[in-house]
Chain A
């Protein structure tokens, strides 16, 4: 007994020491573009390994090679002591490598149980038909093991995003994964759910699963990971224990240059408001039918107001109500002292309200169109002569915006999809500047944008405010809210809970109100 225990112990020791997977000098190119060059990474059992890098650094390509989606052009993958060549994701999955993609990939109209067990072979009864009870039972087990009590028989379509994420995790676990790759798993989760997820990750880690964790959020990385690997422009920069680095250092490694963490807007003195200043936008007791409850606020020209709160607090819905995308059930919207009734984006735009939506890909970009058309699409009427578009004038104006916002693009005719996330976002902002707005509504303006571009976007927003624009900015990243806003409003469950001046606001205070801890 004792001997075998010791043996097991030493086995485990050696397993800990030798990596479960190592990738050596991996190269990958797509139609001539080198996406990965000589990338090395080692994964050990029972570790959370943070994979870091700006957008386009090659994280997702590396992850996809690990999981068999792509095959490397050169280099080798050693898994459990053997060199392996995955021909497809199935092979990798069968050997214990699972991926939780950033986008949820469940079949909404199938049951939770089916989704969880999808990657496994369904047990059949003697008539060759599926044994449903067994599937649900097994799925239930997996769910329980991660502390979820979802009903495996319910449809996935009835779940919230966070719950769906749980199902994704359960699915990965149903395959007895030894390596679990998580790509920005917290992007759509609330803080409470993130806590829960971290608990699960910790549990898995203790069971010996190697977890590759991709995230842009520094605090998370330092909270849960053991080691890190940094990629930059497709090249391996460094790997090491997380305890031997700090956020500032990591950012420096990622961008390859010193960076003053985040942009901090200069204090806006005019914000000490004399009474005669008039708000450009005022809300009085605004409610929609469901998410927004009795919101009153004033927005003055030249200021940036941060709108903080947890996901689901009704911030996006509030902005959508102002922009005429959802109906006002109660209250008044007042622009320049006059009550307005905004029923559509077109009416909002006519009043000088611009809206940069939450999801760039789904709501912001016009794919397959050029940069220039993406910038000027909202303003096409002004470029017409006898009903025909004047491309010459459009080109000039587009050039101006591209220069003003520092959009990095090969040419203005370039397809918008060829730009990096940050530059795409600048184009979306340019589109709204082209209408000459007085109020700019921003919904998570730097989501999924790398740190360098983030800072640039913050500078742009700040400059626009200095030029007299009134900005209302939703952001779930507290450092962003604190760094850019002149004033911060906190929402919780559809209601405005607090207004904090720039000086008094801290992360703790905002979270205090955002979580509803208010008497």
Chain B
């Protein structure tokens, strides 16, 4: 009570500024998404068909799962370029295992585990010898992709198991399975970031690694976990992708990491680390998905779609910069 009396006006004003900034942070991108949806509803034929909406969600689910992991990594101030390659490798491995007679569920878990290990290696190299994550994951992006080619000889491996296909192409209550996977990932990620110590440590490390260390946070361990989770989610994406494509393909997922990064940035997560939300990321994913889908429905030339997507990403980064300047 006493405190409020002594308060000078400045902290209050700052907090209003803070709050309006926060609202802009959260709503800014949501407004853009809403506008996009309205535009598409008006101009794009069949956009509101439930089949089209499910299609948009299904198509964005892979990027969304990758982007969830990417959000964690970027929150610590790092980057993970290897998720696209991890996705390819884990897809290939899980399909090969399944085809070799291993139960589909076990094969899928093995695929996810491979992703986890690949991520753990990234995390270890980033945390302990303190290599820049950009370089570590640039390397693993290349060698993981290479491994996928080596294992398959460069050819797609056709998936035999019907049960396996369910994870990518099946439906529960009329809704495609990948959408469930995506939802579960985001719910868990939301809880992890907001309600677990690990999640708060991620923010603390991204904001100020030195201070986090001095606060007794196990910085290295947390970083290894972060990259491991990114790898794990890439592994899960790989398995879902394989189920959807009915095959493990070594060349799948090229440049997916860039889509994921774009979604994270669109969602308002700061590249410097320490600031951002998982809710923002899903909005970022949906903005790209709606944009792409709408343009396709509007018969926008595929090449032009690329141009528009690129411009949107640049504008998003611009917004990020404007926001972090004050």
- Residue numbers of A with Cβ under 8 A of B are 30-33, 56, 233, 323, 325, 345-346, 349, 355, 357, 362-369, 373, 377-378, 380-381, 384, 387-389, 391, 402-403, 406-411, 414-415, 418-420, 431, 435
Contacts and interface: CB of A to CB of B under 8 A. Distances in A.
B216 A345 contact: yes
Given A366-B211, A366-B274, A402-B3, 11 more contacts: A345-B216, A362-B211, A363-B208, A366-B215, A377-B215, A384-B196, A384-B197, A388-B195, A389-B195, A389-B197, A420-B10
Determine chain B's interface SS by DSSP, over half rule: helix
B216 A346 contact: yes
Interface residues of B, number: 35
B25 to A, nearest CB: 11
B11 A387 contact: no
A373 B200 contact: yes
B191 to A, nearest CB: 7
A378 B8 contact: no
A507 B208 CA distance: 37
Nearest to B206: A368
Contacts of A368: 203, 207, 274-275
Interface string B189-222: 0010011110011011001101111111110000
B7 interface: yes
A431 B196 contact: no
Nearest to A380: B197
Contacts of B200: 369, 373, 377, 380, 389
A362 B13 contact: no
A422 B196 CA distance: 30
Nearest to B207: A367
Contact of B208 (A323, A367, A411): A367
B207 to A, nearest CB: 4
B208 A345 contact: no
B7 A31 contact: no
7 contacts: A365-B207, A365-B211, A366-B212, A368-B275, A377-B204, A407-B3, A410-B7
B15 A377 contact: no
A409 B10 CA distance: 10
Contact of A415 (B18, B204, B213, B214): B18
Q: Which one of A233, A355, A365, A367 has the highest number of Cβ atoms from chain B below 10 Å of its Cβ?
A: A367
Nearest to A233: B8
Nearest to A325: B214
A26 to B, nearest CB: 19
B11 A409 contact: yes
Contacts of B203: 366, 368-369, 373
A133 to B, nearest CB: 37
Nearest to A323: B214
B207 A408 contact: no
B15 A410 contact: yes
A388 B199 CA distance: 10
Given A388-B191, A410-B7, A363 B210 contact: yes
Contact of A31 (B11, B17, B212, B214): B17
Q: Which one of B15, B207, B211 has the highest number of Cβ atoms from chain A below 10 Å of its Cβ?
A: B211
Contacts of A363: 208, 210-211, 214
A349 B274 contact: no
Nearest to A418: B14
B6 interface: yes
Contacts of B10: 33, 56, 420
A32 B218 CA distance: 41
A387 B196 CA distance: 6
B20 to A, nearest CB: 9
Contacts of A411: 15
A423 to B, nearest CB: 8
Contacts of A435: 216
B326 interface: yes
B326 A410 contact: no
B216 A349 contact: yes
Interface in B41-78: none
Given A369-B203, A410-B11, A414-B18, A362 B274 contact: no
Contacts of B105: none
Nearest to A423: B11
A384 B215 CA distance: 18
Contacts of B39: none
Contacts of B326: 30-31
Contacts of B275: 368
Contact of A403 (B3, B6, B8, B208): B3
A161 to B, nearest CB: 18
Nearest to A349: B216
Q: Which one of B18, B212, B326 has the highest number of Cβ atoms from chain A below 10 Å of its Cβ?
A: B18
Q: Which one of B204, B213, B216 has the highest number of Cβ atoms from chain A below 10 Å of its Cβ?
A: B216
B12 interface: yes
Contacts of A408: 3, 6-8, 11
B326 to A, nearest CB: 7
Interface string B260-294: 00000000000000110000000000000000000
Nearest to A360: B211
Contact of B204 (A56, A323, A366, A388): A366
Contacts of A381: 197
Contacts of A325: 214
B197 A345 contact: no
Contact of A378 (B3, B215, B218): B215
A414 B207 contact: no
B180 to A, nearest CB: 23
Contacts of B216: 345-346, 349, 378, 435
B18 A418 contact: yes
A15 B212 CA distance: 54
A474 to B, nearest CB: 15
Contacts of A403: 3
Contacts of B11: 408-410, 414, 418-420
B18 A364 contact: no
Contacts of B195: 388-389, 391
Contacts of B211: 357, 362-366
A84 to B, nearest CB: 26
A406 B191 contact: no
A365 B17 contact: no
A403 B2 CA distance: 9
Contacts of B204: 366, 369, 373, 377
A56 B195 CA distance: 35
A414 B15 contact: yes
A514 B214 CA distance: 28
Interface in B157-207: 191, 194-197, 200-201, 203-204, 207
A403 to B, nearest CB: 7
A431 B7 contact: no
Q: Which one of B7, B200, B215 has the highest number of Cβ atoms from chain A below 10 Å of its Cβ?
A: B215
A344 to B, nearest CB: 8
